[in-house]
Structure 1
Amino acid sequence: MSASNQSRDLFRGFMQKVGVDFADEVPRTSDIESMKFSPSDQAQHLQLQSIQSRFEDYNDSPCNLAQLKFISPSNDSSTHTTTSVVGLSVPSSDNDLLRSLDPVSITTKQVLYRLYGYQELISALDNVQCIHPELVDCRTNLFSAIELQVYRLLLAIRNEKLDHEEMGTHFDGARRVNFVSPQSAKQIPALAKAIVILISIIHCMMNVAREHCGFILKCIRSVLQIFRSQDSHSRLTDALINAVPTTLPTALQYLALQDHLDIYVACPKCHSIFKDLGATDLPTCPTVNLDGTLCDAELYIQRHRGSRTWSTPVRCFSHQPLESWLARLLNRPGVEDLLEAARPLLQEHCTDVWGASFLSNFPSDGQPSFFEAPVGELRLAFLVYHDFFNPYGNQIAGKKRSIGVVMMACLNLPPDVRYDIENIYFAAMIPGPKEPTLETINNYLKPIVDNLEEHYKSGVYINSTFKYPKGRKVRSVAPIQSMDIIASRAFGGLSGPSHTKFCSFCDAVLSRIDIFDLTQFNTRSMEQHRLHVQEWLSAQSLKERNAVWKEHGVRYSEFLRFEWWNALTGTTIAPMHWGKNVIEKQVRENMGCSVTAPTGIPSSRPLSRPISELELEWGKLALAHSSADELSKSKLPEPLVRFLCMQRGIFEAGLNVSRLLNDLNEWRKNNHILASDGSPTSPDRNGAVQLAKTHYYLSKARKSASVLKSNSTVESLQQLCLKLKIPLTKKEKKPELEQLLLDATKNVSIPNVRESENVGQNVAVLGHDVVEQVKLDMKETQFPSFLKRPPINFATVDHGKIGAEEYKSLAMVSLPITLIRLWGCLGANPAYRERLDHFLHLSVAIRILAYQTIMAHDINLFEYHYTQYLLGLKTLYPFSSIVPVQHLGLHIPYFLHALGPSSRYSENTPEMIIGILEDISTNHKIGELEQTLHREMIMAANLRSLMRNTPLPMELDQFRNVVEKFLGNRYPTSVTASRWQTSHSGGAVVLDADTYAALAGWCQHNHKKLFGRNLYLCSQIRLGNLIYQPYHIASANGYIGFRQQDSSVIRGRIETIFQEPSANPPRIAIVVRAFKSLSAEDARLDPYLHHPIVGKPRFGFVKLYYNAVEDDQAHIIEPADILSHLVVTNYHDSTGGITASCIVVMDLDLKHAVHN
């Protein structure tokens, strides 16, 4: 036996007897001075250093044993693959232990990665022959340390298995989920901890690649070593410097930011997914489609690096089990109290989904509420969001690449923290490069729904939470989905907006899309939907399935496994996408927003081609003499049908010919051309209609003689010859008649109807002069910080895509301010005034959707104003088509009743997160980047949570403040709205006598405790994402509307904000000066005040004030008196009738306060 083997055996025996840990006492080879060695010893020294460095990397590699999964002994080995331990030198009993691990678990792969790595190091040490005594000792100790780590790891696995067996896999009918605190057990100095946090932010949030982060870490350590060598008094020691990791994986492991993911191999052709069993066991896709065709696509691809070759999946699908996310969430302090506080309770002034009807009646009427749970059990509700995006951004590869993300928000969390990034559950990442087609999305939904089904039916038992150290049962449900229309229809198994049955709520079809009375349609039912789905499932071929899809627009969705799920109403009309699409349609297409076209009212639009006089003659005769049935079957050309409709004021934009012919028949009945039974009052007794048709197609036959043959009869040809005075012998057959007519008319020119040659008028409702006025007002408008300012060049393509929030500001603020000024004053053109009022109906509807609190009255107002907007479309913009998204708005009131304010389930934050995903640095390789994005996003969320919820050493307070400021600027709202927060610089100031007297008088009048005389001057106060500041610091945040006790609303500007230093929570007093109201004479010229929709007669949220404040009176208020921010801009009086300079003041009260 060699000396090395003997020393290892002696060490193993001693270790097993006493269990003493010598690993931390191993001398580091880097601590030994290499200069004293001979050249051969120096080579061995470098080898030992390399082995030790690799050993430390293996020790720091991710491996959370709490997430180990074991195969039950009862499982039949013939149906369950065991973990392969080929080539691993461990005792047979340990081999059996390792074979009991779940082979597809990520944690199993992490364990094997370490064990194989340790074995590789032992083999490497066997090949290092040391002579120098110090090197011999180092080599021996490295052997011992590596074997100790192997022993530790195997012992920990065995203990985990014993714990699983002792506790059992289930408790109270729920599967146990073991959880060990994610905080790293390895304590590191404060300096190293700060560097680890910094490099994690650089990687996870600044999207710096892994290898570059490793370079940064090495540089930091080198700089620290230089500093220590140059400063003899430095407190830096080797231990402090060596605690700084030199690789990114080690740094991430210190913070334990990575969560468990289930990884599946995804077929690049048919999107089937499989557990990753390796290229040997499943090299190609075994899926067979309904027609019996084998997919057989390659699932793995070979990679090469030097002499090494391995197989990797072509595509991967990653899914984070809900319990993995939940276990971490429930171990945060205070979170469980927030989750438990959410319970269904119907509210008249509804502020959240919990105050509306849907969750109150869940799962359905007559059944016990899902949210009535036994003591200690937690019931959670989730909102699901799903969409596809270009991982390269739209600048690279355009729309050619697309990957999907599925994320969920826990509705039990309060709205102000619900969408913080650390509270978002990133469920899955769907591989690209293209979106899965139709039903193949179900392959990716299945693992997600499998997981949700367990959480709903039996729940899971988290073995330890912050509030319940001995564990608690959790059941969860995901009954609400909010996503854009394309994604939602794919998720729900419903047809999209281009299908004939475009609406998921009613039986409206595209040919009747311009009907805005919902009583004309039937509500779709889930009973009928499930019958159609069953018909789709029962189809024997792809052709049969496609026929069902074409007729009914339905297919199977994995979510149908939940008996409570409603495919028709379970997915909201996503408010953000809906608002953006409707506003964009109105502003850009209907109103023609342009920086080049002059302002005007278009009177017509161009046809696809001009109409000839012969064609029009045929159309007129068909209208005059055909029966209803004959006209429907007449095959009049589409341009002719549209022209006939335009001439008669029949709306035709976007409607198909069949619908237009029906509308023409209705017009003929109303004008007594048709009798009630559809027969013509003036029948075609002489074949005039057929004659006109033949004449028209004769004119077309010059290019193709066959059209005359298929659209004429012998009689009509003979009549046409007589009409054109072509001699006949009465013996000619049809081909001869055709040729006679062709020869006689070959040089005849047929003129077009002049009106049909109109190429369209180059005018727009929002022409360039109006757009310039809008831009003028926008430049002078003060937008508070919470409201997204629309781009000044909104009317040009230079700006690129305009975001949903920018469109909302444009519709709610900028356009109303300018258009009322231009078109709402006395003497304005009635045509423009009519279009102004029409637009304001839409603007008000968009405003109501932004409410944070909503009542039944508000929903009725939304329904009224949006319906008025729709009804005006066909008369004011007859040449613009009606699109599905406009129809869907009619169903929004259902969701406002069922789910409360749309701001509580909007897609704003998920869309912002997709923007973050697009910025993450990857290798740009489809098939690999998806998993990278998933892991990095989870780590970023966990890092954000760690910084907010984990205590750091006091010496890191300044570092923490810097990091918190950076994180607060990058991610969604993270400021709780439960209390006011203040900011001030410097110490307290002593108030002058007059100011303090006024403040004291206010306290006495309102029976308040007196303020001290020494007060802070605050630069801002904040509640959630609402910031208020003195106007001289930030005027946009300094304009407010407020109400004291029973007074009317007062609008003005903040002069000063005082805070009492000693009070907690802070006592705050705000000094405000009111804007000067207009005189009665000037007020008569206020176009905003008197407007019947937005003015005092109805909503009253905008009016004029003089551009000055009341000098003789200041108001002292508390933060609770504030109603809202104001938008303020200068008023350009075109009439010159108002006696002084004015400002437009618009309330942004979205909390539903009633104004006077």
Structure 2
Amino acid sequence: MDHVRFLHEINRSISQPLSDSVASRSASLVVLFDILSSELSKMEEFRQDAWNQQFSNFHPPETVSSGHQIQYVVEPPLNDRAVTSPIPFTARFLVVVLNSVFKLSFKGCRLLLQSLRIIVRLAHANFSQDPRSSTLEAVLKEIPSDPATARKWFPFDPHSIQYACCPTCCALYPPGDYSSSPPPDPDTDDEDPLAPPSTFQILPNYPYDPVPLSHLAEPLRYPEQCTFKGNSESSPCGARLLRFGENPRPIRVFSYQTFVSWLARFLCRADIEPLLDASQARAGLSRDESVDDILSSPEVLNFLGPDGLPFLRVCGSDGRYLLGLFVDWFHPRGNRQGGAAYSAGVIFMVCLNLPPTLRYKRENIYLAGVIPGPKAPSLEEVNHFIEPLALEFRDLWFKGAHFSRTALRREGRLALCAIIPFISDLGAGRKVSGHASHSSTFFCSFCQLPKDMIDNLDMASWPRRTCQEFRNLAEEWRAAADRNTRDTLFKKSGVRYSPLLLLPYWQPTRYVVIDTMHNLFLGLFQHHCRRIFGMNVRVPSENRADADEPDPVTPEELEMVRLAAARCTTAASLKNKFNLRLLRPVYVELGLGDPEMKTKMQLADAIFNVRA
């Protein structure tokens, strides 16, 4: 910076005589002025490159709350632990790459670090007369023995909050000093949950009554027992949250990555911010009837912000970002027919402001958290995992987050964010949004048509359900004093409370979308049209690749099924040996009827009973 100031001073001193008189300009001064101007341009480019490089080594700082908006300081701090030798830096970099890219375990990384320390000591002993010099000890001191220490020099890990998750009821407890007096009881708080919050609160305050542990020297970071109550008249859960030992740790952990810290990293990328700004300008011009993306859909174009104006518009330097929420459960250990099933959930979001070609790339997806197993939470327990996200986005809607600096704006910018739509399969969509299951009495999320009238195809006669009506029913369910009252209200209306209702713009009857994978790629839409509605047309084709019919069954295959049916001892064994293509012709041959609507087990059972 001193060099830049020096160049500016020389530039001003030279440019002053040049502007007095054209005739007095000398060739040498003109050349020197051009050289200085070029040097200043290079220094400015160098400073911008250094700024972008510092962002890659950026440690997320704490979020500072103000009365109006979230102030997030993104100026990267200088690393006060300067590397005095390239050897420790190379060792750290090698371990981090092997751990992050090649999935080397922490145990293997520790072995590698110890090996590198031994190699450096042996190399120094062979090429130096003093095997215990101070330089060697300084270098070995900078080579860490734990890979977690090496990762701190390369801030790849996101800024997350480690919640203690109750193994029984899934209630979440943020880290804090639980040895002190407990906070006020939330039941006595008269604050309107839909009103704009007065202060930024990213951690939900759950009631707790910790049991002090006298043998611990440090304050307890988590409560020892869960004291969550599902309603006012129920008793506390009482499940144990911590493992026994000198350093108690949570039995079950839910790691939540704050969206503000992720967005700060996201806006640090110089290639992303122009794309986000372009989507705001494009949305203001997309008023025709053609819809080629969700940003040009009427639902997004007519979506109003907290000021009553279109949310997605150019508003000075403010950033307006729409995100789609996705929740689903999976088997991290693979689908197994035998043994205990382990189910874990994932909560992530995609930024709809990005073009569709970049929207779903892994590096552009916000992973909010992974819902721990071993089984999926129940209908009400899933609310605990959605509530931190809903609380954070409630503040981002009313107040927004002001980032002190971004990749393209040194003066910083304000960001307002909203969640539409919620994308999932049918089961997760009903569970998270507060709707009843598709097999319940009120099976539809758009209307109140009961299940016994499912054959009614007159859309005009379907009783529509409004957003305000849904909110009133959900609040009535939430205010119920006991479990029986809640079950009665749920059977009567098919509505439960969801933390997404904390968002004042959330419309549960419009924003829940079945994802494309389940709807189209896995054949749900095809199954409904061809099997349930009977809209199935088979057209013969000369090209077998385009034919709708399967390959014809040969006489040898039929004989093989007949012999197997006579030898099999159970219908289940017959089902496991052959597919539908081979079982259906034998079913028809035995004169048992039309096999189209029969399952594989039904076909095998009928064939086995006839052959037995």
- Of the three residues 47, 54, 61, the one matched with 1:67 is 61
What CA distance in whole angstroms lies between the structure 2 residues aligned with 1:366 and 1:878?
55
Deviation at 1:454?
Answer: 0.6
- Of the three residues 490, 507, 512, the one matched with 1:571 is 512
Deviation at 1:584?
Answer: 7.8
- Counterpart of 2:468, as a letter, is E
Relative to structure 1, the CA distance from residue 518 to residue 205 in structure 2 (aligned partners, 3 Å threshold; closer, same or farther) is farther
2:418 aligns with 477
Relative to structure 1, the CA distance from residue 246 to residue 316 in structure 2 (aligned partners, 3 Å threshold; closer, same or farther) is closer
Question: Is 1:312–2:249 an aligned residue pair?
Answer: yes
SS at match of 2:471: helix
Contact 1:288 / 1:294 at 8 angstroms: preserved in 2? yes
Question: Is 1:340–2:235 an aligned residue pair?
Answer: no
Deviation at 1:533?
Answer: 2.0
Question: Is 1:258–2:184 an aligned residue pair?
Answer: no
Contact 1:186 / 1:254 at 8 angstroms: preserved in 2? no
Question: Is 1:199–2:95 an aligned residue pair?
Answer: yes
Structure 2 unaligned regions, length at least 5: 1-56, 129-134, 179-210, 213-219, 539-547, 556-574, 580-593, 600-612
Q: Deviations over 1:903-946 (max 9, x none)?
A: xxxxxxxxxxxxxxxxxxxxxxxxxxxxxxxxxxxxxxxxxxxx
Q: Deviations over 1:736-776 (max 9, x none)?
A: xxxxxxxxxxxxxxxxxxxxxxxxxxxxx96662799xxxx
Relative to structure 1, the CA distance from residue 327 to residue 559 in structure 2 (aligned partners, 3 Å threshold; closer, same or farther) is same
Deviation at 1:372?
Answer: 3.1
Question: Is 1:350–2:291 an aligned residue pair?
Answer: yes
Q: Deviations over 1:142-194 (max 9, x none)?
A: xxxxxxxxxxxxxxxxxxxxxx7xxxx438x2121122438966565777656
- Of the three residues 144, 148, 153, the one matched with 1:249 is 148
2:69 aligns with 174
Deviation at 1:226?
Answer: 6.4
Question: Is 1:490–2:431 an aligned residue pair?
Answer: yes
Identity of aligned residues (%): 25
Question: Is 1:408–2:402 an aligned residue pair?
Answer: no
What CA distance in whole angstroms lies between the structure 2 residues aligned with 1:195 and 1:586?
58
Q: Deviations over 1:452-486 (max 9, x none)?
A: 10111101111222222232211111121111111
1:654 aligns with none
Q: Deviations over 1:1106-1150 (max 9, x none)?
A: xxxxxxxxxxxxxxxxxxxxxxxxxxxxxxxxxxxxxxxxxxxxx
Q: Deviations over 1:857-892 (max 9, x none)?
A: xxxxxxxxxxxxxxxxxx996668xxxxxxxxxxxx
- Counterpart of 1:321, as a letter, is T
- Counterpart of 1:177, as a letter, is Y
Q: Deviations over 1:480-507 (max 9, x none)?
A: 1111111111111001222122221233
Question: Is 1:445–2:386 an aligned residue pair?
Answer: yes
- Of the three residues 184, 191, 209, the one matched with 2:105 is 209
What CA distance in whole angstroms lies between the structure 2 residues aligned with 1:351 and 1:247?
51
**How many residues get paired?**
443
Question: Is 1:537–2:478 an aligned residue pair?
Answer: yes
Q: Which runs of structure 2 are paired with 1:1072-1151 in the superposition (5 Å)?
A: none
Contact 1:387 / 1:404 at 8 angstroms: preserved in 2? yes
Relative to structure 1, the CA distance from residue 240 to residue 539 in structure 2 (aligned partners, 3 Å threshold; closer, same or farther) is closer
What CA distance in whole angstroms lies between the structure 2 residues aligned with 1:248 and 1:576?
39
What CA distance in whole angstroms lies between the structure 1 residues aligned with 2:94 and 2:455?
57
Contact 2:164 / 2:172 at 8 angstroms: preserved in 1? yes
1:8 aligns with none
Question: Is 1:527–2:452 an aligned residue pair?
Answer: no
Deviation at 1:300?
Answer: 3.0
What CA distance in whole angstroms lies between the structure 2 residues aligned with 1:799 and 1:582?
24
Relative to structure 1, the CA distance from residue 207 to residue 480 in structure 2 (aligned partners, 3 Å threshold; closer, same or farther) is same
Deviation at 1:399?
Answer: 6.1
Deviation at 1:511?
Answer: 3.5
- Counterpart of 1:582, as a letter, is L
Deviation at 1:426?
Answer: 1.4
What CA distance in whole angstroms lies between the structure 2 residues aligned with 1:375 and 1:799?
66
Relative to structure 1, the CA distance from residue 586 to residue 540 in structure 2 (aligned partners, 3 Å threshold; closer, same or farther) is closer
What CA distance in whole angstroms lies between the structure 2 residues aligned with 1:477 and 1:453?
8
What CA distance in whole angstroms lies between the structure 2 residues aligned with 1:271 and 1:252?
30
Deviation at 1:247?
Answer: 2.9
2:233 aligns with 292
- Of the three residues 441, 445, 448, the one matched with 1:500 is 441
Contact 1:481 / 1:570 at 8 angstroms: preserved in 2? yes
What CA distance in whole angstroms lies between the structure 2 residues aligned with 1:383 and 1:771?
51
Deviation at 1:315?
Answer: 2.2
Deviation at 1:427?
Answer: 1.2
Relative to structure 1, the CA distance from residue 529 to residue 65 in structure 2 (aligned partners, 3 Å threshold; closer, same or farther) is closer
SS at match of 1:327: helix
Question: Is 1:769–2:552 an aligned residue pair?
Answer: yes
What CA distance in whole angstroms lies between the structure 1 residues aligned with 2:400 and 2:491?
39
Relative to structure 1, the CA distance from residue 482 to residue 372 in structure 2 (aligned partners, 3 Å threshold; closer, same or farther) is same
Deviation at 1:381?
Answer: 0.9
Q: Deviations over 1:1075-1095 (max 9, x none)?
A: xxxxxxxxxxxxxxxxxxxxx
SS at match of 1:572: strand
- Counterpart of 1:199, as a letter, is V
Contact 1:284 / 1:299 at 8 angstroms: preserved in 2? yes
What CA distance in whole angstroms lies between the structure 2 residues aligned with 1:414 and 1:456?
23
What CA distance in whole angstroms lies between the structure 2 residues aligned with 1:419 and 1:230?
53
Relative to structure 1, the CA distance from residue 303 to residue 538 in structure 2 (aligned partners, 3 Å threshold; closer, same or farther) is closer
Deviation at 1:244?
Answer: 5.4
What CA distance in whole angstroms lies between the structure 2 residues aligned with 1:224 and 1:590?
71
- Of the three residues 538, 550, 558, the one matched with 2:499 is 558
Q: Which runs of structure 2 are paired with 1:681-760 in the superposition (5 Å)?
A: none
Contact 1:182 / 1:256 at 8 angstroms: preserved in 2? no
SS at match of 1:334: coil
- Counterpart of 2:146, as a letter, is T
Q: Deviations over 1:2-28 (max 9, x none)?
A: xxxxxxxxxxxxxxxxxxxxxxxxxxx
2:244 aligns with 303
Contact 2:332 / 2:343 at 8 angstroms: preserved in 1? yes
- Counterpart of 2:241, as a letter, is Y
SS at match of 2:368: strand
Question: Is 1:582–2:524 an aligned residue pair?
Answer: yes
- Counterpart of 2:425, as a letter, is D
1:390 aligns with 331
Deviation at 1:440?
Answer: 2.4
Contact 2:167 / 2:241 at 8 angstroms: preserved in 1? no
Q: Which runs of structure 2 are paired with 1:474-873 in the superposition (5 Å)?
A: 474-513=415-454, 518-519=459-460, 521-579=462-520, 580-582=522-524, 585=527, 769=552
Relative to structure 1, the CA distance from residue 287 to residue 246 in structure 2 (aligned partners, 3 Å threshold; closer, same or farther) is closer
Contact 1:482 / 1:573 at 8 angstroms: preserved in 2? yes
Contact 1:266 / 1:299 at 8 angstroms: preserved in 2? no
Contact 2:75 / 2:404 at 8 angstroms: preserved in 1? no
- Counterpart of 2:349, as a letter, is M
Q: Which runs of structure 2 are paired with 1:148-167 in the superposition (5 Å)?
A: none
- Counterpart of 1:351, as a letter, is D
Relative to structure 1, the CA distance from residue 210 to residue 503 in structure 2 (aligned partners, 3 Å threshold; closer, same or farther) is same
Structure 1 unaligned regions, length at least 5: 1-62, 70-163, 592-598, 600-764, 773-795, 801-874, 881-1156
- Of the three residues 427, 430, 434, the one matched with 2:371 is 430
Relative to structure 1, the CA distance from residue 250 to residue 311 in structure 2 (aligned partners, 3 Å threshold; closer, same or farther) is closer
What CA distance in whole angstroms lies between the structure 1 residues aligned with 2:310 and 2:481?
40
- Counterpart of 1:258, as a letter, is D
Relative to structure 1, the CA distance from residue 577 to residue 202 in structure 2 (aligned partners, 3 Å threshold; closer, same or farther) is farther
SS at match of 2:150: helix
Question: Is 1:219–2:115 an aligned residue pair?
Answer: yes
Contact 2:62 / 2:72 at 8 angstroms: preserved in 1? no
RMSD of aligned C-alpha atoms? 4.1
What CA distance in whole angstroms lies between the structure 2 residues aligned with 1:206 and 1:67?
29
Relative to structure 1, the CA distance from residue 301 to residue 768 in structure 2 (aligned partners, 3 Å threshold; closer, same or farther) is same
2:5 aligns with none
